Structure 1
Amino acid sequence: MIVFPAIDIRGGRCVRLTEGRFDAETVYADDPAAMARRWADEGAEYLHVVDLDGALAGQPVNLAIVARIAAAVKIPIQLGGGIRTLANIDAVLSAGVTRVILGSVAVREPALVKEACAVYGDRVVVGIDAKDGVAAVEGWGVSGGVGAEELAARMAAAGVARIIYTDISRDGTLAGVNVPATRALAKAAGIPVIASGGVSSLADVVAVRAAAADGVEGVIIGKALYTGAVGLPAALKAARGEEA
């Protein structure tokens, strides 16, 4: 199972939000590229980066910073936040990103997702961010009016290779991963799913790993790493089934 340290960029800095609320922000570092190097040095195999400014603007905003992150580490990066056109995807991939995460367009423009999958294959990931089982869009501020599991099945049919599932109510809260919902979504989609939102301890990493047989292939960890509640080396060991 892959552990993805999260780097959320807003205003050029590395921040974390609580429940996706922009009025509940904590700044953890002024240099996202330096943070990326730290996680790589601690053994990270893959980074999960979010352009929060881009999510609000509806187009990538921090690509210069993303390019610095990509240049600073030798491990792959997946990026989400405001990627809503094929031109956006081209720009993001040109910045050194390995996989792009499509969010709002999965609800608003499923035909674009299908076209993107035809062009870029497994470099396209869909992020399904849900509250009470319903997908949200536009930086999590608007209901997408479709159930998360139904959307996951649609995206798999469109050719999407994997999904990132975030329980918004748990994101940044250290309240624990919603493993049952993640497992159910993976079963509904029939493609690999990465769990996101709420990791609070190594027990969450172990719980996600237990869902691997149902198609859950990884977990994204944000606030727990930044607060020290979880150490990355220990999380990596837990993900491998080793004692921390």
Structure 2
Amino acid sequence: MQVIPTIELLNGRCVTLRGGDFDAPTLWHVDPVATARGFVAAGATRLQVTDLDAMQGRHDNDALITEIIRAVGVPVQVAGGIRARERAEFWIAQGAAQVVVGSLAVTAPDMVRALAKYRPDMVLLNFDIRDGWLAPIGRQMDTVLDPSAVLESFAQAPLAGVIVTDHDADAAGVEKHLGVITGLAAQTRHLVFASGLVDTLDDFSRLRYVPNIAGAIVGRALMRKTFTLEQALDVARPQPEETAEFL
């Protein structure tokens, strides 16, 4: 299972959000570029950079994110505020390995499918889940859409994967909400990545037993040093199964 550290940017600073709440961000006094390089030095083979300003219609972090992409030497997937094809193409031109789209999959699904067809394996869908429904953060959007139905509508698209971000897990705990991602992972051929479901090393152990989970995107736990990236990578890597000896 892949471990993907994420750096969330707000006003050029590293922050983390609990439950997607923009009103109470936790600020981390670290340099974003140095932090990204540190993750790679610790063994990360892929990073995610999430632009929280772009979710609110601002693009002040573009130069900083471009610097991170060019500094780390591993694939970087860019998330946040990608609400038009032009914006997705902008990040691909800047060197992003993949772009993450959320609300665009709801507001313009045909556009997302066309982008995925033109850029196969470069588009990731992000499903922000609240109370079992799609609820994209960073944008006022009341929705009663069933995530399973939306996922099914992208069944034939050549996506790089689907990120499932369960914001309810922050409030109620991971175990209760494993069922959400388990159900979605069971219905798709696409790779599924868990986000918001890892606060402890034990959470990695649980996710390893969910079929079709390709990896976990982790931010807050790494920032607050609940565990190190090296520890997470050790837990997430495949463990050899015991085999019987035949004479």
1:238 counterpart = 2:227: no
Which of 200, 216, 219 in structure 2 is aligned with 1:219? 216
Deviation digits for residues 179-221 of structure 1 (CA, Å, limit 9, x no counterpart)? 221121011222110001031111101111111xx21100011
User: Partner residue of 2:82?
Assistant: 83
Q: What one-letter code is carried by the residue in structure 2 that aligns with 1:47?
A: L
Deviation digits for residues 125-158 of structure 1 (CA, Å, limit 9, x no counterpart)? 1101110110012526533321112211112234
Shift of 1:176: 2.8
* 8 Å contact kept, 2:11–2:60: no
User: Partner residue of 2:17?
Assistant: 17
Could you tell me how far apart the structure 1 residues matched to 2:150 and 2:51 are? Answer: 23
Q: What one-letter code is carried by the residue in structure 2 that aligns with 1:175?
A: G
Q: Secondary structure at the match of 2:169?
A: coil
Q: Secondary structure at the match of 1:139?
A: coil
User: Partner residue of 2:245?
Assistant: none
Could you tell me how far apart the structure 2 residues matched to 1:10 and 1:148 are? Answer: 28
Larger gyration radius, structure 1 or structure 2: 2
Higher strand residue share:
1
Could you tell me how far apart the structure 2 residues matched to 1:127 and 1:225 are? Answer: 21
Q: What one-letter code is carried by the residue in structure 2 that aligns with 1:118?
A: K
* 8 Å contact kept, 2:128–2:137: no
Could you tell me how far apart the structure 2 residues matched to 1:216 and 1:111 are? Answer: 26
Runs of 4+ in structure 1 deviating by more than 4 angstroms, as ranges, are none
Could you tell me how far apart the structure 1 residues matched to 2:63 and 2:47 are? Answer: 17
User: Partner residue of 1:100?
Assistant: 99
Q: What one-letter code is carried by the residue in structure 2 that aligns with 1:110?
A: P
1:3 counterpart = 2:3: yes
1:176 counterpart = 2:189: no
Could you tell me how far apart the structure 2 residues matched to 1:129 and 1:73 are? Answer: 27
Could you tell me how far apart the structure 2 residues matched to 1:141 and 1:168 are? Answer: 16
Count residues with an aligned counterpart: 239
Most deviating of 223-232 and 176-185: 176-185
Question: 5+ residue gaps in structure 2?
Answer: 241-247
Q: What one-letter code is carried by the residue in structure 2 that aligns with 1:162?
A: G
Could you tell me how far apart the structure 2 residues matched to 1:140 and 1:233 are? Answer: 35
RMSD (Å), alpha carbons: 1.9
Shift of 1:85: 1.5
Question: 5+ residue gaps in structure 1?
Answer: none
Could you tell me how far apart the structure 1 residues matched to 2:153 and 2:204 are? Answer: 28
Q: What one-letter code is carried by the residue in structure 2 that aligns with 1:233?
A: E
Q: Secondary structure at the match of 2:16?
A: strand
Q: Secondary structure at the match of 1:143?
A: coil
TM-score, normalised with respect to structure 2: 0.90
1:148 counterpart = 2:131: no
Shift of 1:32: 1.1
Could you tell me how far apart the structure 2 residues matched to 1:14 and 1:175 are? Answer: 24
User: Partner residue of 2:53?
Assistant: 53
* 8 Å contact kept, 1:202–1:238: yes
* 8 Å contact kept, 1:5–1:44: yes
Could you tell me how far apart the structure 2 residues matched to 1:198 and 1:38 are? Answer: 23
Q: Secondary structure at the match of 1:165?
A: strand
* 8 Å contact kept, 1:153–1:190: no
TM-score, normalised with respect to structure 1: 0.91
Deviation digits for residues 14-71 of structure 1 (CA, Å, limit 9, x no counterpart)? 10011101111011134211110111111111111100000111x6542211111112
Could you tell me how far apart the structure 2 residues matched to 1:8 and 1:167 are? Answer: 17
